[in-house]
């Protein structure tokens, strides 16, 4: 993520310099667009209207182009201050005015439309920046290969590239609309759309989120029917309800009729945009984790491996392996046989898992017995019997590897939904490895994967909370300033 942040920062600085250079050397006047149809009741012709500055020492209209019922007035700054651009009829009477302000660097700011000197190049630059951000994230996602794929950065790349690409395309539409019709689509409208990007994204993706939530709920109900009504089997149903209620609350906030003062309107818009930001943040994290989880479960490690680590889980009281654990071991055996047949290299097995309070032996020992029953030579099996969680699975297995072959490479075998988070823990344990995923039943996968997402978020809750606070403060302040 640090590399992507540096790349984005460099591009942002370059575009900022382009804006400054363009503003100082090319965009020295401000183009103001005024509709002329409003003066029809006065029976005035467009040619009879005159545009003058109330205070010529502040600004002056240089060039006026009348076309299609619109006047484009090029306004040059003469000095800092405020002045009206007045519209006069043939008798010299003021029939309308436009309030303008001149600030630093002789920049004209249009209070009514939000436009300013050089706003065109700024708008184009912001649009390019969002498209560049999406391109950088997509590029870094596809560049994450091998052990480097198992990272929180990959989740961010996968999830927020969707949002940044959507925002970039929205900016393209805003830019084109503003250039084609600056009267109806002013810069102030552009600011509001940019600030409400999360809201727009939430509205457009709501059908997908609702379908996902319904599918998650259906799979969770099937899981409860097969596995029983236990707390750990209810997570997917809880997530479904949260998504549905969250979407419903968001749509209610966005489309309800609101009446109130200007201050109340500002507060209302701030609440809506802040809520949308929070929801979209978790939506993108969920989408990123899902993309990474599915992709990681389907990846096939390249090259020959010296070790195959098998991550353990609970087994039956008689020492036999349940389908979940047996699937992990069978997947490891399948990889071992394929590598031996294609390359001739015979990998060592490291079944990893300690002994629970209600277990008759370590999980690693139960897996060792099953491996032997599947005609795996005992001298190729090196059980790791002390670990009690995924991190220890990886850290303690690494020590076993170092005792046998310090330069050896490894692959780990686990259930498909568990591959990505296991890879993250492997990286934290200093073990550069990739995973292979054993298939599980359709109704088990979604709920189990939600547990993995919760585990990912829990491991970084401080960083996630800090980022959320920053986003809320930023969009809250921006909303209060714009509306």
Both 424 and 472 in a single domain? no
Mean local confidence (pLDDT), 459-480 = 73
Q: How many secondary structure helices (H) and strands (E) does the chain include?
A: 13, 11
Residues 170 and 283 reside in one and the same domain: yes
For residue 133, the model assigns a pLDDT of: 94
- Lowest mean pLDDT segment, chosen from 102-111, 122-131, 221-230, 298-307: 221-230
Write the secondary structure of 379-410 as one string of H (helix), E (strand) and C (coil): HHECCECCCCCHHHHHHHHHHHHHHHCCCCCE
Q: Is residue 313 part of a domain?
A: yes
Q: Provide the token pair at 172.
A: 């393209």
pLDDT, tens digit (0-9, with 9 covering 90-100), for 193-241: 888 888 899 999 999 999 999 988 888 888 888 777 777 778 888 889 9
Asked if residue 350 and residue 388 are part of one domain, the reply reads yes
Residue 2 domain-assigned? no
DSSP helix/strand/coil, 110 = strand
Residue 111 has pLDDT above 60, yes or no: yes
Residue where a domain terminates, one of 82, 117, 152: 117
Non-local CB neighbours of 139 within 8 Å, separated by 6+ positions: none
For residues 195 and 147, the model is more confident at 147
Tell me, yes or no, whether 145 and 109 share the same domain: no
Q: Assess if residue 8 is contained within a domain.
A: no
Distance CA 30, CA 17 (A): 20
Regarding whether 132 and 113 lie in a shared domain, the answer is no
Q: Based on the domain organization, do 62 and 138 belong to the same domain?
A: no
pLDDT in tens, 297-348: 888 888 789 999 999 988 888 888 998 899 999 999 999 999 998 888 899 9
Query: In the predicted model, is pLDDT for residue 30 greater than 70?
Result: yes
0.75 exceeded by pTM: yes
Q: Exposed, middle or buried: residue 385 (CB in 10 Å: 0-12, 13-18, 19+)? A: middle
CATH number of the domain that residue 418 is part of: 3.40.50.620
Could you read off the pLDDT of 33-84 as tens digits, one per residue? Answer: 887 766 655 555 666 678 888 888 988 888 888 777 778 888 888 889 998 8
Whether 438 and 471 map to the same domain: the answer is no
Measured distance between the N- and C-terminal CA atoms of the chain, rounded to whole angstroms = 33
In a domain, 206, yes or no: yes
Whether 112 shows a pLDDT value over 80: the answer reads yes
Is 17 among the domain residues?
no
Please give the average per-residue pLDDT across 451-474, as a whole number. Answer: 76
Shared domain for 357 and 216, answered yes or no, is no
Q: Please report which confidence band the pLDDT of residue 405 belongs to, taking 50, 70 and 90 as the band edges.
A: very high
pLDDT of res. 48 = 67
For residues 133 and 126, give the distance between their C-alpha atoms in angstroms, rounded to a whole number. 10
Q: What is the DSSP letter of 322?
A: P
User: Contact at 8 Å (CB) between 384 and 368?
Assistant: no
Residue-level pLDDT at 354: 92
Q: Give a yes or no: residue 193 inside a domain.
A: yes
Residue 16 lies in a domain: no
Say which CATH number the domain at 81 has. Answer: 2.60.40
Domain around 200:
126-295+462-482
Do 471 and 419 lie in one domain? The reply is no
Domain membership flag for residue 60? yes
Question: Is the same domain home to 326 and 452?
Answer: yes
Mean pLDDT for the stretch of residues 138-146: 91
d(CA 267, CA 312) in angstroms, rounded, equals 52
Are 395 and 426 in a shared domain?
A: yes
- Structurally, the chain folds into a number of domains equal to 3
Residues 77 and 220 in one domain: no
Rounded-to-5 percentages of helix, strand, coil across the chain: 60, 15, 25
């Amino acid at each position: 993520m640090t590399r992507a942040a540096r790349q984005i920062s460099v591009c942002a600085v370059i575009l900022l310099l382009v804006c400054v250079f363009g503003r100082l050397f090319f965009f020295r006047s401000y183009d103001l667009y005024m509709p002329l149809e409003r003066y029809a009741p006065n029976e005035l012709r467009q040619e009879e209207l005159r545009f003058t500055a109330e205070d010529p020492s502040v600004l002056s209209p240089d060039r006026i182009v009348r076309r299609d019922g619109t006047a484009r007035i090029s306004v040059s700054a003469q000095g800092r201050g405020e002045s009206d651009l007045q519209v006069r009829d043939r008798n010299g009477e003021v029939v309308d005015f436009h309030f303008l302000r001149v600030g630093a660097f002789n920049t004209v700011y249009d209070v009514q439309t939000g436009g300013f000197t050089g706003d065109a190049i700024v708008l184009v630059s912001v649009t390019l920046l969002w498209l560049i951000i999406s391109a950088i994230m997509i590029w870094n996602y596809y560049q994450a290969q091998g052990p480097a794929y198992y990272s929180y950065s990959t989740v961010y790349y996968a999830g927020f590239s969707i949002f940044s690409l959507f925002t970039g395309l929205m900016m393209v539409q805003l830019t084109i609309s503003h250039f084609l019709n600056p009267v109806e689509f002013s810069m102030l409208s552009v600011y509001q759309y940019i600030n409400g990007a999360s809201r727009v994204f939430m509205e457009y993706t709501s059908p997908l989120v609702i379908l996902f939530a319904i599918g998650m709920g259906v799979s969770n109900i099937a899981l409860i029917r097969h596995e029983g009504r236990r707390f750990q089997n209810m997570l997917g149903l809880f997530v479904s309800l949260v998504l549905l209620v969250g979407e419903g609350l968001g749509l209610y906030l966005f489309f309800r009729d609101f009446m109130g003062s200007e201050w109340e309107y500002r507060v209302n818009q701030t609440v809506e945009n802040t809520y949308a930001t929070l929801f979209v943040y978790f939506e993108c994290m969920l989408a990123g984790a899902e993309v990474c989880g599915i992709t990681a479960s389907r990846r096939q490690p390249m090259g020959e491996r010296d070790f195959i680590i098998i991550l353990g889980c609970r087994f039956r009281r008689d020492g036999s392996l349940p389908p979940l654990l047996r699937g992990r071991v069978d997947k490891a055996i399948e990889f071992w046989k394929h590598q031996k047949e294609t390359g001739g290299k015979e990998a060592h097995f490291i079944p990893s898992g300690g002994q629970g309070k209600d277990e008759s032996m370590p999980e690693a020992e139960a897996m060792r017995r099953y491996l032997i029953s599947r005609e795996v030579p005992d001298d190729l099996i090196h059980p790791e019997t002390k670990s009690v969680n995924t991190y220890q699975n990886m850290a303690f297995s690494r020590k076993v590897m170092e005792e046998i072959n310090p330069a050896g490479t490894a692959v780990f075998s686990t259930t498909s939904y568990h591959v990505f988070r296991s890879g993250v823990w492997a990286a934290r344990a200093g073990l550069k490895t990739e995973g292979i995923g054993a298939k599980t039943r359709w109704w088990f996968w979604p709920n189990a994967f939600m547990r993995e997402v919760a585990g990912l978020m829990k491991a970084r809750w401080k960083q996630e909370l800090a980022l959320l606070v920053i986003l809320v403060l930023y969009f809250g302040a921006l909303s209060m300033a714009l509306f």
